[in-house]
Structure 1
């Protein structure tokens, strides 16, 4: 079976596609951003570096210094995504097209897929794809258009499968899987420390459209008396978070890893293995990969619950704590305080998550299920 992946360059896509090596599929990748080759997938045939008609002099300078002019020239000198994709589609002649993320990799090619109705189309919903953007009329129109055309659906949570059905999806559901596939625990188990030796409070530093890290930092300030023996580490910190910490420097000990300064994934996993608490907060998301990784690395999770997605993994006051209002500093502080006051709960959650939750995300288990999902498409196609 020829499988054509359509996506932006992403660590999650790289991990997902890596599951398919040696699975018996011919895999192709259309880099929807038209940038460089993915060197971590040398066995995949790739359509890259197609975006620009002309790499005009000074492009990088303009992008940094005069972004408005850069955008105008970018449109002028860029190839049309749908045109290039359709040409590549005819060259490859795939059996299945698989788009990752709706607005990045499905909407730009929907007109092409509507012309090639004989091709099976798979869509993987990610993050805020459906939950957030369904509330915006201009985006909702595109969501419904894509969902009415796609034949198969992967989601990272049950919530989004229900939303997809509500918005017109009538195809075959292939299951709930982490956006990047399973996790290679053999590589990271060495970093898991006992609960009694953990001294890090780990915070996901996203702030912007959906991230609400600053609410966490304010909540930590409210319970700072409890943090004297701990070190707060903020990773993936957006500029707003960095600026906040400069202006309102907390009384607790902290370290910041800015989003712009890439922190290797292995280093993040090490931090999770040292973290007593992991705290993530947003107004919209799917099932966060970082949450799942933190749970598997033994950190006690305190996580927002947009649309009820996090409660698919966390039972409040059992194997973690839920944040029901991502804007409420008082509520977040209350949950952090509750965790510190119930050390036994943290220890019990560690055991439960390691024995019950973690095995469900093992790389080999997920890989086998994903491969079988693709093979089910092949069987249906042969039957048709």
Structure 2
């Protein structure tokens, strides 16, 4: 079986694809961004790169930097579209399945091509792809038009399946984590008594609201946090700048892991295994892989709940706390204070969450189901 995947270079995409390494499938990846660089994350996959520039003329980067208007005019003639590249790839590869990751970034661009054939078409929705589509200027008609061509939907949460079902989608659908499943090292999970960190995601761009977390920490009783080391990962520049100007954080121990210097997943998991609390706060999201990873590593989760997605895995007050208003840092602060003050709650949550992730999101368990999904698509 030949599977042609269309996606941007993304950590979760690479993790998903690597599940298929020994499946016997021939996997091809059309890089929707075309950075031109071979990815060593999936070396066994046939990678379609270098398609975007018709002619990589001398001093192209210099022209781009110093003469942006001229560069834009040249690119109108010099750039191949993603749709054209997909059409060429289909003619060459003759795939049995096309699998598109994300609607906004790739799906709409390739729709005119996939509408011209009957090749089984799988679509994976991630994060804010479905829940936030109106905020990104996409209409119900746009989504319905796209979903009419989709044969199989894979979503990272039940919420998005329901949204698309309400818009008329009535074909096969599956709910899997965006990366396909978790592989966690239990030896890196520390008891709650020995944990000394608080970790949170630093997204502020688009729908992220990490600055509200920083504000929530600033109003906590200082005696609760004076011995805590804070780690903010995937931190956008606005978040980094805010923390560095904060008078409260000047008196605290903290480490910033900038978004552009991606923290390796293994290192992130190790930090989660040492963290008392993991916080994530967004106006929109799907089922965050980071949340599932933090739960599996025993960090007490405090997470925003856009559209009820997070409530699919967190029972509020039992195995974590739900942030109902991402813009209310005072309420977020109260949740952090309660969690820090209640060791018994955190211990029970840690035991519950480790079992929950093991039973529902273990990669070794989900992998055969995902491999079978592709086989069933062409039956």
Pick the TM interval, shorter chain. over 0.9
State the match for 2:179 in structure 1: 180
Deviation at 1:201, TM superposition (A): 0.5
Extract unaligned runs of 5+ from structure 2.
none
Whole-Å separation in 2 of the counterparts to 1:97 and 1:337: 48
Whether contact under 8 Å (1:148, 1:170) holds in the other structure is no
Query: Is 1:321 the equivalent of 2:321?
Result: yes
Deviation at 1:109, TM superposition (A): 0.7
Whole-Å separation in 1 of the counterparts to 2:239 and 2:155: 30
Whether contact under 8 Å (2:123, 2:152) holds in the other structure is yes
Give CA deviations for 1:190-223 in whole Å, capped at 9, x if unaligned. 3211111100000100102111000000000111
Whole-Å separation in 2 of the counterparts to 1:4 and 1:190: 37
SS in 1 for 2:273: helix
Moved more, 351-360 or 87-96: 351-360
State the match for 1:227 in structure 2: 225
SS in 2 for 1:107: helix
Residue 195 (structure 2) aligned to one of 189, 195, 198:
198
Deviation at 1:248, TM superposition (A): 2.4
The alpha-carbon distance between structure 1 residues 133 and 218, as it changes in their structure 2 partners (threshold 3 A), is: same
Give CA deviations for 1:246-302 in whole Å, capped at 9, x if unaligned. 322424322211112232211111111110000000000000011111111110000
The alpha-carbon distance between structure 1 residues 69 and 194, as it changes in their structure 2 partners (threshold 3 A), is: farther
State the match for 2:28 in structure 1: 28
Listed as ranges, the matches of 1:143-154 within 5 Å are 143-154=143-154
State the match for 2:50 in structure 1: 49
The alpha-carbon distance between structure 1 residues 214 and 33, as it changes in their structure 2 partners (threshold 3 A), is: same
State the match for 1:382 in structure 2: none
State the match for 2:257 in structure 1: 257
SS in 2 for 1:30: strand
Deviation at 1:239, TM superposition (A): 0.6
RMSD of aligned residue pairs (Cα, Å): 1.8
> Aligned residues, how many?
375
Whole-Å separation in 2 of the counterparts to 1:376 and 1:297: 33
Whole-Å separation in 1 of the counterparts to 2:68 and 2:275: 39
State the match for 1:105 in structure 2: 106
Whole-Å separation in 2 of the counterparts to 1:211 and 1:69: 34
Moved more, 30-39 or 144-153: 30-39
Whether contact under 8 Å (2:120, 2:378) holds in the other structure is no
Whether contact under 8 Å (1:287, 1:309) holds in the other structure is yes
Whole-Å separation in 2 of the counterparts to 1:154 and 1:74: 35
State the match for 1:115 in structure 2: 116
Whole-Å separation in 1 of the counterparts to 2:279 and 2:214: 10
Deviation at 1:176, TM superposition (A): 0.7
State the match for 1:83 in structure 2: 84
